[in-house]
Structure 1
Amino acid sequence: MICVSGASGRLGSILRATWARADVVWSRRLAGEGWLAWDMMTEPFPASGTDLRGGVMLCLAGVVPAPGAVLASNIQIALAACEAAQSVGARHVFLASSGAVYGPGGLKSVPFAETALPHPTSEYGAAKLAAEREVALWQARHPGIGVTHLRIGNVAGADAVLGRPLDVLRRIDPVPGSAGGPLRSYIGPQGFARVLSGLCDLALSGGNIPPILNIAAPGAVAMGDLLTAAGADWETGPANAAVIPAMVLATGQLERLLPGVAGSGSVDDLVADWRIWRERA
């Protein structure tokens, strides 16, 4: 059995529109048909209705940057997911982290591997890294359960580029040496759903899953190129000293676990994946 917490958020909505699994329970704070009502920050995991013994806790819940957002709450959310999973005998916990923990990269930088030393420059990246470190301390006291932090790149449709109406003119920060603006690691929404499903299957079967895993399709794309392929208008904005030229994740570890499942990472494939998902959502 798999429990997906934070299932009403952007990433959870992708899974709900894509997965056709019968072994999933979708969790959120509010009650509703087809939902497990559970406030993971204040309540123990419900004792009836869901048996997670030997199962998986997939925690997509989290606080994202927004006015007034308390980003440090990501630490408590991650720990609450681990505590709940351990209390009911789950086999493995997946926690949504972010590629933002690595910090900025340049156009010619080597892609960030999971072993790279993190240097987050945003409050969000720092909060996610703090959550990873606190969970590592927790797991040292609870060695019987597996935990994997998913350092997720941009998910097409859940991002600031394709996650807005196409008729809204975008302004892309200029990046010297990249006509299409900043380079980013992306994964299509369906590719994202396939990857998480595959990881859950590996965990349920007792497979060996690393404690940190980058989630993206191979390579990187320029934001402007992605918009052009999607048929959206964009223009180059004014110079921005804070722009991050590149955020590229190494995906060798993911490809070894699930070869080809994330997709090719090409602009055309990402847009095609996004369009099919958008029709379903």
Structure 2
Amino acid sequence: MTADTAQTGPLILGGTGRIGRALRRLADDGHWPMGRAALWHGRRGDYAWDMREAPPALPRPVRGVVVLAGVTEGSPDALAANTDLALAALRLAARDGLGPVLLMSSAAVYGREADPGREDSAAPAAPYGEAKLAMERAVAAHVGRLGEQAPAACCLRLANIAGCDQLFGAMSAGPVTLDRFEDGRAPRRAYLGPLTLARALDALCAADTLPPVLNLAQPGAVGMDEILDAAGARWAWRAAPPGALPRTRLDTSRLAAAIGAVAPATAPGLVAEARMAGWTLA
């Protein structure tokens, strides 16, 4: 399937989840031009498909496939659906000659590893991270079985998405209680603004080649207290409980090699992008 790339966007599978809704808001408001040309999937979307069934024909050409569809919580059996959804997307892409296929994995595959997390390692510490790593391995195996007929596929180990993660969700619900470690600092996390995510997806869809796995984050780690202050949220400290993780950070050198440098994350920038994508403070 070919098309004028100036007139087509990606197929977004799972466009009704939190990240999908944020990206759709950016597209509808004109902040993500490629998204306005996207084909948005859902049970009742532009492309209606129950991903447990055989995929219907696409109504028009697309440029790349972005797989947001996934399961974030539940039993191990429920989380195993992440692999099923990824393989369904690959079968569609192979059938229609689509690519690249960008599949959302997670920084959770690094578990409690010393940062920065690098793509050649993984040590998940919770069922969600284990499920995402299993998905990555199933994708690699499926691509290997298809050989030359396989679509280009890249599993993206996502950082926290501003406006879509637990911290922003907590701010939307009311006052926040934040861990403080013995050094007086708050947790620091790898982040990615939703507009930066949209632009990175554009660049990844246009890349000549992609590795099987790639970290997707803005460089650095941002203090959660900085984000709360930038958003004007109400919050208070508590002593960090045993086992709390002070910092997560992702190595973004391979991302920069693939699509060019991405601006470091800042708390004001993350809050601004979250608001552009529809997030609001309580």
Distance 1:88 1:70 in 2: 28
Identical aligned pairs, as a percentage?
Answer: 36
* 1:173 equivalent in structure 2: 179
Does structure 2 retain, via aligned residues, the 8 Å contact 1:63–1:73? Answer: yes
Structure 1 residue ranges without an equivalent (≥5): none
Asked if the contact 2:179–2:238 (Cα under 8 Å) also holds between the matched residues in 1, the reply is yes
In the alignment, the residues of structure 2 paired with residue 69 and residue 168 of structure 1 have an alpha-carbon distance, to the nearest angstrom, of 33
Cα deviation per residue 1:144-197 (whole Å; 9 max; x = unaligned)? 321100100001000111234457111123333352x21110011111111112
Q: Unaligned 5+ residue runs, structure 2?
A: 1-7, 27-31
Report the 3-state secondary structure (helix = DSSP H, G, I; strand = E; otherwise coil) of the residue aligned with 2:112: coil
Q: How far off its partner does 1:142 sit? A: 1.4
Cα contact 2:109–2:124 (8 A) shared by 1: yes
Alignment partner, residue 4 of structure 2: none
| TM-score normalised by structure 1 residue count | 0.86
Aligned counterpart, 2:40: 26
Count residues in correspondence.
Answer: 264
TM-score, length-normalised on structure 2? 0.86
Q: Which has the higher helix share?
A: 2
The question of whether the paired residues in 2 share the 8 Å contact of 1:187 and 1:216 is answered with yes
In structure 2, the residue matched to 1:200 is 205
Cα 1:259–1:90, aligned 2, differ >3 Å: closer, same or farther? Answer: same
Q: Which moved more, 1:74-83 or 1:264-273?
A: 264-273
> Which whole-Å CA distance do the structure 1 matches of 2:38 and 2:172 have between them?
33
Matches within 5 A, 1:26-65: 26-29=40-43, 31-32=44-45, 35-44=46-55, 46-51=56-61, 55-65=63-73
* 1:45-124 alignment, distance < 5 Å: 46-51=56-61, 55-66=63-74, 70-105=78-113, 109-115=114-120, 117-124=121-128
Task: Give, in whole Å, the separation in 1 of the partners of 2:86 and 2:129.
Answer: 14
Change in 2 beyond 3 A, CA 1:48/1:277: closer
Match of 1:155 among 151, 161, 171: 161
1:133 aligns with 2:147: no
Deviating above 6 A after TM superposition, structure 1's stretches of 4 or more consecutive aligned residues are none
Query: 1:214·1:254 contact (CA, 8 Å) conserved in 2?
Result: yes
Q: CA deviation at 1:241?
A: 2.4
Residues 95 and 148 in structure 1, CA contact (< 8 A), matched pair in contact too? yes
**Taking structure 1 as reference, are residues 127 and 142 closer, same or farther at Cα in structure 2, changes over 3 Å only?**
same
